[in-house]
Amino acid sequence: MARILVMIPAGEVYAHDSVRWYNHQDIRSHINTYHNMGDAFVFDSSLKLLRFEKLGVLEISEFKPREIARLREEYDYVFLRGSNYIHDAMNWEAAATVLKALGLPVIGFGIGAQAPVDGKIRISDETRAVLQLMSESTTTVGVRGAYSADVLWSLGIRNVRIVGCPTAFRRNDPELRITLPPLEQVRNVGVTVRREVSGAYAKDIERYLTFHRDLVKAIAGRFQTVLLAQGEVEEKKLVLGDEAQRAEAITALRADHWTSSWYLDEAMLDLYRNRLFYSDVVADYEQLIRGQDLVLGYRLHGNLMALANGVPSIYCTYDSRTAEFSDTFKIPSFDIFGQTTFCLEDYWDQGLFDRYNRAWFHTYGEMCRFLTENGVAHKMHDILETPQAKISRVA
């Protein structure tokens, strides 16, 4: 049982290994600010894979020598929650100084690089320093996919293992598989929505939003549909706000040029008013998603939460991050900037999901080996001893 520090957490921990947003019951304290619940999914999932008796937070905003000395005595290692850290806008504050002084192993738990639209990633000296400290302090650095591994390799960091994301393995069941029911039996469908996007991520925002709108409307016209939001202010106000705040949200959505021009027509507005879901508690998402027959859309971790619970999911890819996840796990995906037209029937193919099942199984093993080789106490199973692994070896 380890004593661990988390670097850059995303929410408050309760019941030992569950996560909800800070002050989640005080809606007024954060309803006017954006926070990405996908980050909380990853934090929650990470804790569910680890064995620990004590959890603390490593503050990186300021170097405090006496505090660092105390933490060095009280904790065994630091883990960096998986997310998009390797890009030109990342601000590490005093992380390099803090980590160097602390001297504990720093576990990169599925970290990733984000390529800008022009494909030319720029990495600051500060980011290089933090990554080098992580590499030197551990046996391996865990990254989410091949692109992120290539970026670290270009920096001279060779001890890299591709582990995907902890969210994929949160149920810790190495025998988990996606098995498609007949499409005519599908009733409940979740669409993960991401209205706000940067032009640095999506190369054509008009295409991004119009396809997004058309997908939502097409699915809602065919199935009992819920729209899963993960933190945009207006969506939060529509779900959690009072009457005045809901009116503010509608006004703001209509005033936004991109949203009003390419996304929020009257049909979408009706769906936003009646089919939108948001919560500050990770467990609420998981409970809702378990009741769906299919989840698809734009949200990386919302879709991954479905797959982690045995619910089929299809990704709409629009940047290097979503494409990298789809490639790592061989998730059926649709490139929204491609030349084809989306047709659900084309993706309702058990063969496609068997490719995912095999990739997921392989990456589960890689995550398990990553934690073991870095001396991290965990709950994952050695898949070499599972019935599925034995069958795979024979095959």
Q: How far apart are CA 39 and CA 157, in angstroms?
A: 25
Task: Give the residue-averaged pLDDT of 251-257.
Answer: 95
Confidence of residue 117 (pLDDT cuts 50, 70, 90): confident
Tokens matching residue 386: 């599972």
- Residue 359 to residue 381: CA distance in whole angstroms: 17
Low-confidence winner among 94-108, 309-323, 377-391 (lowest mean pLDDT) = 377-391
Average pLDDT score over residue span 60-85: 96
DSSP assignment of 275-310 equals SEE--SBHHHHHHHHHT-SEEEES-HHHHHHHHHTT
pLDDT exceeds cutoff 60 at 394: no
Domains for the chain: give ranges and CATH numbers: 2-173+360-385 (3.40.50), 183-351 (3.40.50)
Q: What percent of the chain has pLDDT over 70?
A: 97
Separation in Å, CA 168 to CA 16, 324, 331: 20, 14, 11
AA letter at 312: P
Residue type, 215: L
pLDDT digits (tens, 9 = 90+) for 297-307: 999 999 999 99
Which region among 91-95, 194-198, 227-231, 277-281 has the lowest average model confidence (pLDDT)? 194-198
pLDDT tens digit string along 305-352? 999 999 999 999 999 999 999 999 999 999 999 999 999 999 999 999
Q: Considering the chain, what percentage of its residues have pLDDT values greater than 90?
A: 90
Question: What confidence score (pLDDT) does residue 353 get?
Answer: 98
Window from 45-59, 78-92, 170-184 with minimum mean pLDDT: 78-92
Q: Is the pLDDT of residue 392 over 50?
A: no
For residue 391, pLDDT beyond 60: no
Kindly report, residue by residue over 149-200, the tens digit of the pLDDT. 999 999 999 999 999 999 999 999 999 999 999 999 999 999 999 999 888 7
